[in-house]
Amino acid sequence: MRRTIGVWFVVSTLVSADCLRAQDAADSDPDWRDPYDSGGPLIFEQAAYDVTYYDLALRVDPTDSTIVGSLHMDARMVAPTEVVALDLDPLLAIESVSLTDLESAAPLPFRRAGSRVFIELPFTKQPGDDLSLTVEYGGRPRVAPRPPWDGGVQWATTPSGAPWIATSNQMIGADVWWPNKDHVSDKPDSMTIRITVPEPLVVASNGRLEQVEEHGDGTRTYHWFVSTPISNYNVALNIAPYVVIQEEYESVTGETFPVMFYVLPESLEDGRALMPEILAHLRWFEETLGPYPFRADKYGVAQTPHLGMEHQSIIAYGANFNNSAMTGGEDWGFDALHHHELSHEWWGNLVTNADWKDMWIHEGFGSYMQALWLEDTQGIERYHEYMASIRPRIGNRLPTAPRHSLSAQEVYGSDIYFKGAWVLHTLRYLVGEEILREALRQMAYPTEAAALETDGSQARFASTADVITVFEQVSGQDLDWLFEAYLRQAKLPRLLVEIEHGEGERTMELRWQAPGDLPFPMPVEVLLGDRTVRVDMADGTGEVRVPAGVEPVIDPEGWILRARPRPGSRQ
């Protein structure tokens, strides 16, 4: 016990010291930015431009855990400014910043404040002007303390002792290993990724592989090109002596694209055994939501030393071929890690929250897809079992989708997964399964034309307001009250129940008590013996006659997300 207290004291002291240092830095320099957080309100120096293209070229050296290279960015100005800003972890040194949209590259002065890099332009860029910058940089990037949640670069080794390198940085920002505009609202239209590694290492990255360039000095460069918009946190390096399992897959659109599984040589047979399930998951998502969004490039899976991440067209897979790796030991009869990360190709990579405050669209929708998969493959009872299993993980500590801008670290927690999924579960109860499934398809692809696009125009940003609009349009119902109560508030609505005493027929009164006395006209089903009645709660109240000798059961199938009953109550 003494050792546990001591360790906790040391960890708490270190965290507190880090927080104090960060606060001191922020107080001394208002431009200072936490290197290990992503998003939040955009500053003017970044809002003034829109990124159109990145070209990232890096040499990765596993012997000393270093990277060195350059980032070229093309952008279009949307506001006049003579100063622009990028982000890069201060652990990495900047050799130079150059303006490259002139006839000759011009070095530029710059200033660093935490992860922020303020670059002074030689003249005011006007709206509509092009901006091209090149940053030469390098060093030892942050080693991921607890990937993928607390990320960076992971320098691991395979079972045979070969280098095994992976990046994961959703919560802390891609600027921990490459310079960029670290905000989820700005995707480049396309991106080139050129990574040089020692032979015989293989680089599995985003997009499609255009070339492997042999240098004759024991190194080679992998040239990847991403032909569609991509979030900066999705850009990923996966480096190991991979072998590739490849299948040609025919989409529901009739197009064919490669499905590529990069596995360690030691895992080749396990990879081959999992490949049919990977294809089955892909088929189900296409049939449920619409075509795979990035079929112009590929669908890729890379075996990683960390659990997993939704890196666009090259998802990280670290479940070690264990169905229960991400479900707390519960085996639901399918590879839950792969299924969840694949869901993000639609919820996260196709449909992207424009601000992290709406991250529940990524994680809540992705979590709910597992319940639908179980229903479609194992039956409705398994659907309900799954939803019941995640219900205890809802914490209700903060609003799941607040209205103000948040960083990734501020919004992250279990509720964006499990409360988000339960909101969709309760929505299904209210509007019906057919409407829910149609709304999900329209959230993914608002039009049939969008579902057929592969040039990047199919990708879009979304917010909670978009979810409300789609569900209201498809259902024909006013649903503002439901989202206001469930997502904008931390606490859940509570159902108050009173029932007459006596042995004969009795009256049971129901009343919703929502946070802030918000309206909450959620109908309630009550099981009365062998029949179920649906009690209209249009004004938040309702009543039902309970036959003699019958013990009523409220919400018998467990559809409604509500506060847990108080001990001894009938809720």
Higher pLDDT, 567 or 559: 559
- What domain range is 526 assigned to? 494-554
Is the pLDDT assigned to residue 10 strictly greater than 60? no
**Do 476 and 539 share a domain, yes or no?**
no
Q: Name the pTM for this structure.
A: 0.93
User: Among 93-102, 171-180, 227-236, where is mean pLDDT lowest?
Assistant: 93-102
Is the pLDDT assigned to residue 397 strictly greater than 90? yes
Is the pLDDT assigned to residue 25 strictly greater than 60? no
Is the pLDDT assigned to residue 2 strictly greater than 50? no
pLDDT value of position 22: 46
Percent of the chain with pLDDT over 90: 91
**Do 502 and 548 share a domain, yes or no?**
yes
**Do 331 and 255 share a domain, yes or no?**
yes
Is the pLDDT assigned to residue 569 strictly greater than 70? no
**Do 239 and 94 share a domain, yes or no?**
yes
pLDDT value of position 322: 97
pLDDT value of position 102: 74
pLDDT value of position 3: 28
Residue 550, in any domain of the structure: yes
Residue partners of 124: CB distance under 8 A and separation at least 6: 80, 81, 82
**Do 468 and 504 share a domain, yes or no?**
no
Specify the 3-state DSSP secondary structure of 65: coil
**Do 140 and 77 share a domain, yes or no?**
yes
Please write the tens of the pLDDT for every residue from 149-169.
Answer: 999 999 999 999 999 999 999
Q: With cut-offs at 50, 70 and 90, classify the pLDDT of residue 501.
A: confident
pLDDT value of position 294: 98
Q: With cut-offs at 50, 70 and 90, classify the pLDDT of residue 567.
A: low
Q: How far apart are CA 430 and CA 252, in angstroms?
A: 30
Is the pLDDT assigned to residue 12 strictly greater than 80? no
**Do 83 and 208 share a domain, yes or no?**
yes
Is the pLDDT assigned to residue 29 strictly greater than 90? no
Q: Is the CB of residue 494 less than 8 Å from the CB of residue 571?
A: yes
Residue 115, in any domain of the structure: yes
Total domain count, the chain: 3
CATH number of the domain to which 426 belongs = 1.10.390.10
Is the pLDDT assigned to residue 141 strictly greater than 60? yes
Average pLDDT over residues 6-13: 26
Q: With cut-offs at 50, 70 and 90, classify the pLDDT of residue 352.
A: very high
pLDDT value of position 388: 98
Specify the 3-state DSSP secondary structure of 501: coil
User: Among 28-32, 290-294, 311-315, where is mean pLDDT lowest?
Assistant: 28-32
Tokens of 50: 């829109």
Average pLDDT, rounded, for the chain: 94
**Do 328 and 437 share a domain, yes or no?**
no
Q: How far apart are CA 237 and CA 262, in angstroms?
A: 12
pLDDT value of position 568: 54
Cis peptide before 80 (omega within 30 of 0): no
Expressed in percent and rounded to 5, the helix, strand and coil fractions of the chain are 30, 30, 40
Q: How far apart are CA 312 and CA 298, in angstroms?
A: 10
**Do 194 and 278 share a domain, yes or no?**
yes
Average pLDDT over residues 175-191: 98
Residue 183, in any domain of the structure: yes
Report the DSSP beta bridge partners of residue 545.
507
Please write the tens of the pLDDT for every residue from 229-285.
Answer: 999 999 999 999 999 999 999 999 999 999 999 999 999 999 999 999 999 999 999
